[in-house]
């Protein structure tokens, strides 16, 4: 039950952050979506053994989080959730790619460990950028921006409905789990009881979806969700897109960490 409540609390925090009023919040969502997509594509385009060259890309989510007033603890806690999954993906790399690249003191470091670290760094960067985008824009605005950039309307509508009624589903699951805990007297529930609870939750979701669909048809829904917000792609958005994408391209083709290391090696005796 605690985990379900924490999920609901996380979702509510994202919506609260999106209602703030900062210079980043006021940007057109399409500009933020374009820059974030470019960020993800460029980060993913690096070689699988690249680690140090990816580090300067952290300036993008960090800068937007600072300008948008997002709490560092909230971002760090949620981004850290991706690290175990990323490590799980690259867990077997050290066993299959055993070529020694360098020695860290007397400890040999193989190419498999480097590729595993690269996967973890990419996961942290891309998830951090996506989390900052949603927190500074709002999920409905992100969906509307994706639709404006060419995503089919039906996909945008499905994503918005998923976000809108996810809160209802999570609250319903939390109430059902709380009721099960109270009736079990502190004992672990049997698998059959948990299965019955999941079936009941699925049935409630199905019935609620039917009622919502009928209500939408009664209100002449034709596949388009209207918003009160109006956006304008002005000079600030153009500068935002050109500036960040140009920086990403520079960081992609010039290894800033290596250049700084070479400079420091020349300056220090």
Kindly report, residue by residue over 194-217, the tens digit of the pLDDT.
Answer: 777 777 777 877 787 788 778 877
- The verdict on residue 266 lying in a domain is no
- The verdict on residue 105 lying in a domain is yes
Are residues 143 and 11 both part of a single domain?
yes
Tokens at residue 148, please?
């404006």
Q: Token pair 């109270």 is at which residue?
A: 182
- The verdict on residue 21 lying in a domain is yes
DSSP 8-state symbol, 92: T
Are residues 143 and 173 both part of a single domain?
no
Are residues 250 and 212 both part of a single domain?
no
What's the average model confidence in pLDDT over 122-144? 88
Are residues 218 and 246 both part of a single domain?
no
pLDDT digits (tens, 9 = 90+) for 12-34: 777 788 888 888 888 988 999 99
| pLDDT in the model for residue 110 | 78
Are residues 82 and 166 both part of a single domain?
no
Residue span of the structural domain in which 191 resides: 152-227
- The verdict on residue 264 lying in a domain is no
| pLDDT in the model for residue 2 | 46
Long-range contacts of range 185-191, CB-CB < 8 Å, 24 or more positions apart?
none
- The verdict on residue 192 lying in a domain is yes
Cα(53)–Cα(55) distance, rounded to whole angstroms? 6
In this prediction, residue 225 has a pLDDT band, given cuts at 50, 70 and 90, of low
Average confidence score pLDDT of the chain = 80
Q: Token pair 């960040």 is at which residue?
A: 244
Are residues 69 and 171 both part of a single domain?
no
- The verdict on residue 263 lying in a domain is no
Number of domains in the chain: 2
Note the pTM of the prediction, 2 decimals.
0.79
Are residues 188 and 214 both part of a single domain?
yes
Strands 100-104 and 107-110, by their bridges, are antiparallel
Are residues 37 and 107 both part of a single domain?
yes
Are residues 133 and 254 both part of a single domain?
yes
Tell me the CB-side half-sphere exposure of residue 82, using CA atoms within 13 A.
Answer: 18
Are residues 248 and 163 both part of a single domain?
no
């Amino acid at each position: 039950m605690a985990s379900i409540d924490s999920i609901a609390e996380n979702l509510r925090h994202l919506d609260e952050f999106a209602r703030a009023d900062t210079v980043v919040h006021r940007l057109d969502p399409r500009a933020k979506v374009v820059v974030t997509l470019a960020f993800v594509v460029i980060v993913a385009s690096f070689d699988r053994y690249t680690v140090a060259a990816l580090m300067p890309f952290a300036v993008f989510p960090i800068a937007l989080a600072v300008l948008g007033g997002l709490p560092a603890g909230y971002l760090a806690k949620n981004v850290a959730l991706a690290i175990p999954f990323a490590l799980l993906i690259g867990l077997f790399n050290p066993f299959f790619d055993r070529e020694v690249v360098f020695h860290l003191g007397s400890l040999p470091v193989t190419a498999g460990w480097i590729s595993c670290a690269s996967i973890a760094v990419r996961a942290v960067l891309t998830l951090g950028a996506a989390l900052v985008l949603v927190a500074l824009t709002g999920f409905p605005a992100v969906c509307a921006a994706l639709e404006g950039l060419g995503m089919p309307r039906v996909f945008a509508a499905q994503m918005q409905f998923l976000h809108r009624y996810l809160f209802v589903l999570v609250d319903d699951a939390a109430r059902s789990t709380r009721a099960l805990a109270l009736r079990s007297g502190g004992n672990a529930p049997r698998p059959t009881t948990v299965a019955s609870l999941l079936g009941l939750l699925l049935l409630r979701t199905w019935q609620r979806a039917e009622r919502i669909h009928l209500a939408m048809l009664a209100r002449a829904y034709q596949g388009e969700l209207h918003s009160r917000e109006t956006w304008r792609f002005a000079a600030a958005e153009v500068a935002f897109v050109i500036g960040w994408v140009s920086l990403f391209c520079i960081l992609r083709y010039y290894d800033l960490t290596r250049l700084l290391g070479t400079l420091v090696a020349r300056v220090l005796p």
